[in-house]
Amino acid sequence: MTTTQPAGDERVTFRQAALPARDGFGQALRAEWTKLRSVRATVVTAVAAVALTVGLSLLAAAGGRTDANDGPHFVDQLHLVHQPLTGDGTITARVRGQQPSHEWAKAGLLITRDTASGAPYAALMVTPGHGVRLQAEFDTELAGSHGGAPRWLRLARAGTAVTGYESADGVTWDKVGTVTVAGLPATARVGLFVTSPASQEAEASPGSTHIVLTATPGEATFDQVSVTPAGAASRTGPAGWSDTDVGAEQAAAEDQDQQPNAGAASPPGGSRWAGGTVTVTGNGDLGGIGIGGIESGDDDVVSNALVGAQIGLIAVVALGVLAATAEYRTGTLHTTFLVSPRRGRVLAAKAVVVGGLVLAVGLVASVGAFLLAQPIQHARGFGPPSYPDRSLADGPVARAVVGTALFLAVLAVFSVAVGVLLRRAAGAITLVIALVTVPQLVTSALSVDATRWVQRVTPIAGLAIQQTRHRFDTAIAPWAGFGVLCGYAALALGLALWALRRTGGSGPRREAAAAARAAAAPRADGPGTDGRRRVTNGAG
């Protein structure tokens, strides 16, 4: 409105114009981005996050070392019931039953040069958890059907070529595959074998966690056993068979770091015949790294390459908290709500802007840390064959690298919410950092079960997104752990919105009333004709 004055009165005209509140979400995003980028601390904390993440990852890579590649890269420990096979021929048997001692327990048929551990071989087997498998030379594995025992198996030799067959009824046979076994002599050894790898359990002591291996004796029952040399009669029954614990001496000599999955005390195997049925027991494993469920190195090299994020998060937390508390410190929050009265929209815009910035910064940091740490890890022994090369094109690797950036982004949003709740930067930063670091410190003094519980229910569960392999100390699956952190962030944002509305009284109506009072307040105008200053009410 406009006020006018009588003739001769020198009062100035006062015009009151209502400024519409610009509270669209796009406008709120632009406003929050403008505020964030105008603060020097934003650049400092972003650079610090990258430097800390990459720097600590490289230091950790340089400080690690393993001798996993110094020892044999295969396991050949099993109990073999065998006899000679001269020339071409076949061995057939039904695995009538198998004890589920381990998901990778193996029972089946084997042809080998001799009974020395590490000799060239081909083996056709059933497993409780992974179906039928055909192996050769510690580096080849073909998958058959998904079923386990009972199952008919057959190996057929033709020179150095060995073909595996399987059948559900002993009548209709399916070919599993053909493998080449170089070095098979004219007279090889064929027979029935059983093996079962040791189980791994973690035990914690103050300051360390170590693996305890426990033997899981495997047992399987065979019947319908026959060996058919070319042009000769089958040899069946106990009289024609010998028993050998393959790899027993090697198992006693090697420790876990030198031989994959070795190191457990393995009781001797054996066989018991009852008519045409034989029950075989055995311990150990058969295969090479990546074959038959065998893994050598215990470390998750991808997660290790991203370990710097555990320190880089300090800068991320500071960025998120400062973005929320700066307006309380400077007193500009009142102005923000005048321009955009919808407080939920303002909070959402702030969370999106901070989270988006940290996501971009986190991607730079995590990709850089992974790519730069890999050469150092290889130089320290974390390379093939015990630790195969990993690439960003690998699904689990991409998830871990991008997931690290997502972890930092969600943590930043959580920090924004805590900053709104506490309104003081020092207290909010201390609280958030304590929530993500103290659990990692106290777990070193806890039992394995207690450690896993802490890692499942606290915000550090989000770090599970960095896992690329299941280890003895794995507490929670990658996406499930990330979901726990997201839950904390969502809860904190909800509380922050409640606090904003509660402390602001009636919210937008209160801000509008304040603006109206400011506009209607009396103002001093210029002097009138009588030389005295006039006071005009803005409302006219």
Residues 193, 82: Cα–Cα separation, whole Å: 8
Same domain, 428 and 367: yes
Residue 211 φ/ψ region, left for φ over 0, alpha for ψ in the -120 to 50 degree band, beta for the rest: beta
At 224, list the tokens.
Answer: 């319908």
Q: What is the DSSP letter of 217?
A: -
- Domain range for residue 391? 25-66+299-513
Q: Token match 């114009």: residue? A: 17
Shared domain check, 435 and 349? yes
Indicate the residue among 265, 288, 311 that finishes a domain: 288
Query: Is residue 305 within 8 Å of residue 387, measured between CB atoms?
Result: no
Can you tell me the distance from the alpha carbon of 150 to that of 96, in angstroms, rounded to the nearest whole number? Answer: 5
- 526, 12 in Cβ contact below 8 A? yes
Residue 213 maps to a domain: yes
- Asked if residue 389 and residue 453 are part of one domain, the reply reads yes
Task: Check whether residue 337 and residue 476 sit in a common domain.
Answer: yes
Do 284 and 380 lie in a common domain? no
314 in the same domain as 270: no
Q: Which residues pair with 78 in a beta bridge?
A: 246
In one letter, which amino acid is 184?
L
Rounded distance between C-alpha atoms, residue 487 and residue 458, angstroms: 10
Domain closes at, from 224, 257, 288: 288
Q: pLDDT per residue over 81-103, tens digit each?
A: 999 999 999 999 999 999 999 99
- pTM here is 0.75
Query: Does residue 405 lie within any of the structural domains?
Result: yes
**Residue 264 confidence (pLDDT):** 55
Question: Is 59 in the same domain as 104?
Answer: no
Shared-domain flag, residues 329 and 205 = no
Nearest alpha carbon to residue 453 among 263, 204, 229: 204
3-class DSSP assignment, residue 202 = strand
Domain presence at residue 15: no
Q: Contact, 70 vs 255, CB < 8 A?
A: no
Q: 35 with 131, same domain? A: no
CA dihedral for 235, 238, 240, 245, sign (positive or negative): positive
Per-residue pLDDT of the chain (540 residues; tens, 9 = 90+): 444 544 454 444 434 444 444 557 888 888 888 888 888 889 999 999 999 999 999 999 999 988 877 777 889 999 999 999 999 999 999 999 999 999 999 999 999 999 999 999 999 999 999 999 999 999 999 999 998 999 999 999 999 999 999 999 999 999 999 999 998 999 999 999 999 999 877 666 655 666 778 889 999 999 999 999 844 444 556 778 999 999 876 555 544 444 555 445 567 899 999 988 999 999 999 999 888 988 767 789 999 999 999 999 999 999 999 999 988 887 777 777 767 778 888 899 999 999 999 999 999 999 999 999 999 999 999 988 888 899 999 999 999 999 999 999 999 999 999 999 999 999 999 999 999 999 888 877 777 788 889 999 999 999 999 999 888 778 899 999 999 999 999 999 999 999 988 875 344 455 445 445 545 555 545 555 555 555 454 444
Number of folded domains that form the chain: 2
pLDDT for the residue 263: 47
Residue 527 domain-assigned (yes or no): no
The per-residue pLDDT for 277 is 95
Last residue of a domain, one of 288, 314, 346: 288
CATH of the domain at 276: 2.60.120
pLDDT, residue 205, reads 61
Say whether both 124 and 174 belong to one domain: yes
For residue 525, tell me if it sits in a domain. no
Q: Which residues contact 287 (CB under 8 A, 6 or more apart)?
A: 74, 75, 135, 138, 141, 293, 294
Question: Do 260 and 389 belong together in one domain?
Answer: no
User: Residue 294: inside a domain, yes or no?
Assistant: no
Rounded Cα distance, 106 and 147, in Å:
13
Residue with tokens 């006018």: 4
In a domain? residue 320: yes
The reply to whether 39 and 134 lie within a common domain is no
Say if 12 falls within a structural domain. Answer: no
Instruction: State the pLDDT at residue 523.
Output: 52
Please report the DSSP string for 124-186 in residue order. Answer: EEEETTTEEEEEETTTEEEE--S--SSEEEEEEEETTEEEEEEESSSSS-EEEEEEE-TT--S
On whether the CB atoms of residues 448 and 203 are closer than 8 A, the answer is: yes
